[in-house]
Amino acid sequence: MSSSTRVPQRRGRLGARLTAAAGLAVLCVTAAPAMSASAAPTASGVMLQNGRFEDSVLCASPDNQAVWMVAKSAAAGNSYCRWKQFGTDGQFTLYNLGKDQVMAYHGGNENNVWMEPEGSSGNGNDELWSWGGQEGWGASALQSYLDSGQNVDARSPYINERDKPRTDAVHTRGWRHGDQRELTWKKVTG
């Protein structure tokens, strides 16, 4: 097989995990009574809820490669707001069920968080994340594995809106810059 037609080993492992999960889902669907899409079980991923703005969750855009904040109530049943973690809390990929891609960060202070096909960045660390220790408010920093000083930021970048969740595409921010609660997240099933 030529190198241009080989599937990257990481993509093969992710595909195998997803195939196994899909097989289990088919088994569950055939054994369970029919239900509406909005009543689908939460086994299909979790939402990532912000530690300060508890009505805000992280979602991939269906229209572009950006990641956005969405009100939790509006995200219910939306597969673009559902994530699966592959790996340990110290090093993992975040796979988005609706986008069929992974979340990535390519470096720089306060730079964009993007969605991309797994293994496409050229630097595998761009697609890796880690959880910081759990803070007193019950959430943990969602850190770039490439640069653990950069965390996924939910706070609005506009000075007159620092107490509101961001309405622009999600970026990172350094923990040392204060207002750390907005840099923390927790997995929720609702």
2 Cβ partners below 8 Å, 6+ apart? none
Q: What is residue 73's DSSP assignment?
A: H
Average pLDDT over residues 20-48: 45
* E strand map for the chain: 47-50, 56-60, 67-71, 83-88, 91-96, 101-105, 113-116, 129-134, 140-144, 150-153, 171-174, 184-188
Does residue 2 carry a pLDDT above 70? no
Does residue 12 carry a pLDDT above 80? no
Q: What is the pLDDT of residues 46-58, one digit of tens each?
A: 999 999 999 999 9
- pTM for this model (two decimals): 0.77
How confident is residue 178, by pLDDT bands cut at 50, 70 and 90?
low
Asked whether residue 33 is domain-assigned, the answer is no
Asked whether residue 2 is domain-assigned, the answer is no
Asked whether residue 10 is domain-assigned, the answer is no
Asked whether residue 159 is domain-assigned, the answer is yes
Q: What is the pLDDT of residues 135-149, one digit of tens each?
A: 999 999 999 999 999
Asked whether residue 22 is domain-assigned, the answer is no
Number of structural domains (the chain) is 1
Asked whether residue 28 is domain-assigned, the answer is no
Q: Which domain holds residue 74?
A: 40-188
CATH number at residue 184: 2.80.10.50
Does residue 8 carry a pLDDT above 60? no
Q: What is the pLDDT of residues 64-108, one digit of tens each?
A: 999 999 999 999 999 999 999 999 999 999 999 999 999 999 999
Does residue 24 carry a pLDDT above 50? no
The Cα 26–Cα 32 span in angstroms is 10
Does residue 23 carry a pLDDT above 70? no
29 or 131, greater pLDDT: 131
Asked whether residue 24 is domain-assigned, the answer is no
Mean of all residue pLDDT scores within the chain: 82
Amino acid 20: pLDDT: 43
